[in-house]
Amino acid sequence: MAERRPLALITFDVDDTLYSTTDFVRRARENSLKAMLAAGLDLSLEQARAELAEVVSEFTSNDEHHFDRLLQRIPRERLGGINPAILIAAGVAAYKDTVVHSLAPYEDVQEGIKRLHERGFRLGVASHGLTVKQAEKLVRLRILQYLDKHALFFNEQLGMSKSNPKFFLRAAETLGLKPEQCLHVGDRPDRDVDPANAAGWITVLNRRSGRYHEMVGDTPPAYTIHNFWDLQELVERDFVPVRADPSAAPA
């Protein structure tokens, strides 16, 4: 049996790693469109879906005016004589309801993270997106108690994209850790595997679901997993938790 290597940090990507963003967003948008139709929007569900998909593709998923834009793009008579603010509000309310009631981790994530935490591994997050929006997901996934409060890395706060290897170099440096003792788990070859590899981190590709399931990156991950039981197994087989040199830790 090979000797287990020291591991000082495990970071997790958020979207499609800790929860099924793809499934969640599909459900939230579907609920919103159905609410807008119920409020009087005169489109078929298929038409509304197609129009919203175009809006998201043209303005990105973080745009805050999806429903406004949807209504602007369609012929005015399709509003069914309803004040557009009411149609937008029906969509917004249904979306928020879905966030509050349905945003939940993959079924094995909470237990997997809890166990790694109990085994003594230091856990964190490396996330790309709107900072408070990403942080709200962590709150709703109910995993914050297992994460090191100094190991939450958001690309906006670091002033760089997560696709830049410096993101991972800076994260390790902030905690006074060697990159080769840090491991990152994510679903995107371009934002998780390639840049973390380039920074000298150990990489785990989460091949579970999501939009990037078929994407091929420039460099292979050190490991591929399909769920958090796989992750558990490889970490406990190949690694032993180490704490950083206290003299190198930040104040």
Instruction: Give Cα separations from 33 to 51, 75, 141, 187, 247 (angstroms).
Output: 10, 17, 25, 28, 55
- How many residues bind its own copies (CB under 8 A)? The answer is 31
Structure tokens at 61: 């998923």
User: Of the listed pieces 22-30, 99-107, 162-170, 174-182, which binds its own copies according to CB under 8 A?
Assistant: 99-107
Q: 160: Cβ–Cβ under 8 A, 6 or more apart, which residues? A: 166, 167, 170
CB of 102 to its own copies, least distance (A): 11
Among 45, 50, 99, 248, contact with its own copies (rule: CB under 8 A): 99
Q: How far is Cα of residue 1 from the mean position of the Cα atoms in its chain?
A: 35
The number of beta carbons lying within 10 Å of the beta carbon of residue 53 is: 11
127 with 60: CB under 8 angstroms?
A: no
CB of 75 to its own copies, least distance (A): 15
Query: Which residue's entry shows tokens 């009411």?
Result: 86
Site for its own copies in 129-158 (CB under 8 A): 131-132, 134-136, 138-140, 144, 149-150, 152, 154, 157
Our finding on whether 246 is near its own copies (CB under 8 A) is no
Structure tokens at 84: 């557009």
Radius of gyration of the chain measured on its C-alpha atoms: 21
Give the per-residue contact string, 2-41, with its own copies (x = CB under 8 A; - = no).
-------------------------------------xx-
Q: Which residues bind its own copies (CB under 8 A)?
A: 39-40, 81-83, 85-86, 88-90, 92-93, 96-97, 99-101, 131-132, 134-136, 138-140, 144, 149-150, 152, 154, 157
